Amino acid sequence: MAILPIRIWGDCVLHRPAAPVTTITTEIRTLVADMFETMDAAPGVGLAAPQVGVGLRIYTYTYDEPGEPTWRGVILNPELWMELPAPGLPDPESESEGCLSFPDEDFPLRRSDHVHVRGSDLEGEPVEIDVHGWRARIMQHEYDHLNGIIYVNRLIEPYHSEAHTIARQKGWGIPGLSWLPEEE
Ligand code: ZN
């Protein structure tokens, strides 16, 4: 297994839709193992294949809630259904999220509280996920990556402008930038 470099905002693979997985090959299995290792090292609660430079519809996720077993998995070719997000403005305290491809920043974003995701696992078996709250947020964030959307694209003002200013200051927004998480 290997920790993979994580592409940064501006790299082309992040900003275009990913292609469906047609066959689960040895390469795909290795990619998924590497994605789990990279996600844990980053550390992050989710990682989509485009973030490690692979334009395929795959993401991994992991989430710990006190008193519950770790919620963790991989999904291939997901379809996502969501309840409409509640109206109103996002609360900066409880509704801020970040992205490994826009590192060290977070911004408030209103998301749906309830999603249903359908796809397949690494054995090609059907997977159904029905979740609320932060887990639903993770699903929406990672699913967006497969459509070339980063949460920064969804921000309202003033957060949208702030994010773009930061990207400019950090020299992001051009192809070829990445960062490498360190081993734990
Ligand atoms: Zn992300």
pLDDT tens for each residue of the chain, 184 residues long: 899 999 999 999 999 999 999 999 999 999 999 999 999 999 999 999 999 999 999 999 999 988 999 999 999 999 999 999 999 999 999 999 999 999 999 999 999 999 999 999 999 999 999 999 999 999 999 999 999 999 999 999 999 999 999 999 999 999 999 999 998 6
CATH number at residue 149: 3.90.45.10
Distance 98 CA to ligand 1 centre (A): 7
The closest of 48, 31, 45 to 142, measured between CA atoms, is: 48
C-beta of residue 39 within 8 angstroms of C-beta of residue 57: no
**Domain span at residue 141?**
6-171
* 19 in a structural domain: yes
User: Ligand 1: distance of its center to the CA of 141 in Å?
Assistant: 6
Active-site residue flag, 142: yes
Please compute, for residue 130, the number of CA atoms within 13 A of its CA located in the half-sphere on the CB side.
Answer: 0
Q: Is residue 137 part of a domain?
A: yes
Q: How far does residue 156's CA lie from ligand 1's centre (Å)?
A: 17
Q: What is the CA angle 89-102-71, rounded to 5?
A: 75
What are the pLDDT digits (tens) for 43-57? 999 999 999 999 999
Residue 74 near residue 32, CB atoms below 8 Å: yes
**Residue 26 Cα, ligand 1 centroid: separation in angstroms?**
25
Which residue in the list 142, 162, 182, 184 is annotated as catalytic?
Answer: 142
131: in domain? yes
Q: Amino acid letter at 139?
A: M
Q: Is residue 35 part of a domain?
A: yes
Q: What distance, in Å, lies between the first and last C-alpha atoms of the chain?
A: 14
pTM over 0.95, yes/no: yes
Q: Total structural domains in the chain?
A: 1
